[in-house]
Amino acid sequence: MGENTKFKLIVGFLAILALVISIYARFAPRFPGDLCLTLRLQSFDNHFLLSFMDYVSFIFGGWSSVLVVVIIGILVWWRIGRLEAIMIPVGGLITLVNTALKLAINRPRPSADLVHVLSSEQGNGFPSGHAFFAILILGLTAYFISINLKNRTIRMVVLAGLIALILLIGTSRVYLGVHWPSDVIGGYLIGGVFLTALIWFHRTWKAHHSQQHKRL
């Protein structure tokens, strides 16, 4: 099985899974286990944890996320290359799709009568924009690092840190009571579709230019 076929299968599988969960979210205010998981997570109640989760959520949402994209784009341009650096803000623009999806699915956020709503948020809940952003931008960054950073130890440490941060961002949204766990999973899944597509594009572009270079 060729690489292009593998990527098509992965993108197709993720897209179908994302479609199914999105349709379910359109008609279900929450998924089985959402309330239990949220209350269990929120049972770890202390001021430091709340401040930490609030800070993580703030950094990767709203105007702060634009700054994150700019900083990562500059670093990637400096250390890796121009194409990769351009793909970072492209990924940032793709995250705007999340707004349209929220309007289409029209799923409400958790209500204060069910969970502790610890942060004020407007708009619909599914999919989580923070989770969408995290998996797409930080996932793309992790991919570039995985194929460009030569030192294996440093590479593994950085990748582990990025994966932990992606998971932490999603967890913070549930902890703050602004998303159900299924909102976060939906954000990861839908963002994962676009992430896989961008990785596929990058590998195809590199392979094409490598072949052209060999001909020359």
- Token output for 209: 């230019």
Contact assessment for residue 92 and residue 137, using Cβ atoms and an 8 Å cutoff: yes
Marked catalytic residue, from 47, 116, 179, 209: 179
**Cα dist. 156→90, 120, 147, 161, 192 in Å?**
26, 36, 12, 8, 21
The Cα–Cα gap between 188 and 169 comes to: 11
* Known active-site residue 130: yes
Dist. CA 208–CA 203, nearest whole Å: 9
Query: Residue type for 174, please?
Result: V
CB 157 within 8 A of CB 15: no
Give the active site residues.
130, 179
